[in-house]
Amino acid sequence: MSNLIARLTNPNIATLAPYESARRLYAGGQDWLNANESPYANPYQLDDTKLNRYPACQPVSVVEQYAAYAGVMPQNVLVTRGADEGIELLIRAFCRPGRSSIMICPPTYGMYAISAETCDVSVIKVPQHSDFSLDVDSICQQAGDVSLVFICSPNNPTGTQVAKEDIIRVLEHCADKALVVVDEAYIEFAFSDNWASALQRYPHLVILRTLSKAFALAGLRCGFTLASDAIIQTLLKVIAPYPIPEPVAQIAAQALGEDPIARMREQVDIIETERQRLTDALSAMDEVTLVGAQKANFILFRTPAKDALMRDLVDNGLLIRDQSKQLNLQQCLRISVGTPEQNTRLLSLMRDFFTRGETA
Ligand SMILES: *Cc1c(COP(=O)(O)O)cnc(C)c1O
What domains can you pick out in the chain, each with its CATH number? 2-39+260-354 (3.90.1150.10), 55-257 (3.40.640.10)
Instruction: Tell me the mean pLDDT in the region 71-76.
Output: 97
Residue 264 CB less than 6 A away from ligand 1: no
Q: What pLDDT band is residue 24 in, cutting at 50, 70 and 90?
A: low
Residue from 108, 213, 321 to probe ligand 1 pocket by mutation (most atoms less than 8 Å from CB) = 213
Which of 334, 332, 328 is closest to 125 using CA atoms? 328
Question: What separation in Å is there between the alpha carbon of 99 and the centre of ligand 1?
Answer: 26
Neighbours of 9 (CB within 10 A): 12
63 lines ligand 1 (CB under 6 A): no
Angle, vertex CA 262, rays to CA 295 and CA 345, nearest 5? 50
Per-residue model confidence (pLDDT) at position 20: 72
Please give the pLDDT value at position 89.
98
Given a cut of 60, whether residue 360 has pLDDT beyond it is no
Q: How far apart are CA 43 and CA 260, in angstroms?
A: 10
Spatial contact of 163 and 182, defined as CB atoms under 8 Å apart: no
The DSSP bridge partners found for residue 180 are: 149, 205
pLDDT of residue 27: 66
Closest CA to 181 of 159, 197, 156, 202: 202
The reported pLDDT for the residue numbered 358 is 67
Dihedrals φ, ψ of 202, to 5°?
Answer: -125, 95
Write the pLDDT tens digit of every residue in 259-281.
999 999 999 999 999 999 999 99
Pocket test for ligand 1, best of 79, 156, 209 (most atoms within 8 A of CB): 156
Distance CA 289, CA 358 (A): 17
List, in order, residues 6 or more apart from 323 with CB less than 8 Å away: 107, 157, 300, 329, 332, 333, 334
Per-residue pLDDT tens over the stretch 118-172:
999 999 999 999 999 999 999 999 999 999 999 999 999 999 999 999 999 999 9
Q: What is the pLDDT of residue 151?
A: 98
Q: What is the pLDDT of residues 169-204, one digit of tens each?
A: 999 999 999 999 999 999 999 977 779 999 999 999
Determine if ligand 1 sits within 6 Å of the CB of residue 185: yes
> What is the position in ligand 1's atom list of the atom closest to the CA of 213?
1
Q: Looking at 17-31, 195-209, 214-228, 337-351, which range is the least confident one? A: 17-31
Say what the pLDDT of residue 359 is.
59
Q: With a 6 A CB cut-off, is 152 part of the ligand 1 pocket? A: yes
Pocket of ligand 1 contains residue 83 by CB under 6 Å? yes
Pairwise CA distance, residues 298 & 152, whole Å: 15
Q: How much is the pLDDT for 203?
A: 97
The pLDDT, as a whole number, for residue 49 is 97
Rounded distance from Cα 284 to ligand 1 centre (Å): 30
Amino acid at 154: P
Ligand 1 within 6 A of CB of 156: yes
Distance from the CA of 35 to the center of ligand 1, in angstroms?
Answer: 10
- Would you say the CB of residue 216 lies under 6 angstroms from ligand 1? no
Q: 94 in ligand 1 pocket by Cβ < 6 Å? A: no
Q: For residues 73 and 126, what is the distance between their CA atoms, to the nearest angstrom? A: 33
- Cα gap 244→138, rounded to integer Å: 38
Interval 104-131: pLDDT, tens: 999 999 999 999 999 999 999 999 999 9
Look over the chain and give the mean of its residue pLDDT values, rounded to a whole number. Answer: 95
Q: Would you call 90 exposed, middle or buried from its count of C-beta atoms within 10 A (0-12, 13-18, 19+)?
A: buried
Instruction: Dump pLDDT digits (tens) for 43-66.
Output: 999 999 999 999 999 999 999 999
Cα–ligand 1 centroid distance for 236 (angstroms)? 20
Question: pLDDT category, 19, cuts 50, 70, 90?
Answer: confident
Query: Does the Cβ of 150 fall within 6 Å of ligand 1?
Result: no
